Structure 1
Amino acid sequence: MMKTLLASLLAAASAASAAQARDSLPGSTWLTENGEAKVTFFQCGDNNAQLCGELSWLQRQAESDTPVLDAENPDPDLRSRELEGITMLWGFEQDDDGDWRDGKLYKADEGKTYRGNILPQDDGTLKLEGCVFVICKSQTWTRVES
């Protein structure tokens, strides 16, 4: 009986962490899986019903105090812009489960944009999926600020 009670409490705590991540993404900042960047989420789109994310910190820029440019961008006119401050995630809409789906992710080191999903996890992290056709890759991000 004690094991059942403990398992129930752990499940409730995990569900609460996932619910908190789902409900508080706008205004929160997350560290990417490799620790080299932070992204701050904000509401965007029609009536602020969508979720977007701004590249708010880059380790390379912080270490060198030199702006990191969007050098791989397919648009030559954008290759001289600073990466820090750009919107790199946009158009995500929340589904009935609280996940954010069908948005776009810009991967600056490749200069490519992918279709993606943002999936809050039970442990309070975020799983980001970037997809091309049916092939998807994912990363796990960790909250650094609410």
Structure 2
Amino acid sequence: MKLLAAVTFAAALYAPAIAGDTLDPKGFWKTEKKGGVVEIFPCDQALCGRIADAAILRKNPRQTDSNNPDPALRNRPVRGLIVLKNFTGGAGEWSGGPLYDPDTGDRASRGRLRLRDANTLEVRGCIARFLCQTQVWTRRH
């Protein structure tokens, strides 16, 4: 009986740790486009995301943000470029913005990150209330 109680107690302590790990979006995520990989990391009191890898970066590691609508920003490197900013929340969902797509130069003023499960992240960006686009990213192991 004591062994059963000890095992039950240990399982109760361990379960929240497992649940917490599954609700953590930090790490590397494969995007839907062009072999992209975005790293989500803590920045200040929020989450941000930066370009970690992409097919174009494997061909040209010095690729610049040439599609940026602001000519003054077109010479900045794509590797390390912040594409998600100021996402706050928790328990599987975060909201914030802006979001930026260096492939097109498009920017969404606000968005949402939602974990479907430990390895699947919905990334939604909106330029207006009803004008949104969603991508599904998978965790890179």
Same fold by TM (over 0.5)? yes
What's the TM-score once normalised by structure 1's chain length? 0.74
Please tell me the root mean square deviation across aligned C-alpha atoms, in Å: 2.1
- Is 1:88–2:87 an aligned residue pair? no
Q: In the alignment, is the contact (CA less than 8 A) between 1:18 and 1:124 conserved in 2?
A: no
Stretches of structure 2 lacking an aligned partner (at least 5 in a row): 1-16
Instruction: Tell me if the contact between 1:18 and 1:120 (Cα under 8 Å) persists in the aligned partners.
Output: no
Q: TM-score, normalised by structure 2?
A: 0.76
Change (3 A) 1:29 1:125: same
Aligned equivalent of 2:6: none
Structure 2 equivalent of residue 110 of structure 1: 104
Structure 1 portions without partners, runs of 5+: 1-15
Alignment partners' CA distance in 2, 1:35 and 1:73: 17
The correspondence for 1:99, drawn from 88, 93, 96, is 93
Pairs within 5 Å for 1:1-146:
20-23=21-24, 25-26=25-26, 28-34=27-33, 36-45=35-44, 49-62=45-58, 64-95=59-90, 97-114=91-108, 115-122=110-117, 124-133=119-128, 134-145=130-141
What fraction of aligned residue pairs are identical, expressed as a percent?
34
**8 Å CA contact retained: 1:18, 1:121:** no
- Larger RCO: Structure 1 or Structure 2 (Cα < 8 Å, ≥ 6 residues apart)? 1
Q: Is the 8 A contact 1:53 1:89 kept in 2?
A: yes
**Computing the radius of gyration over CA atoms, which structure comes out larger, 1 or 2?**
2
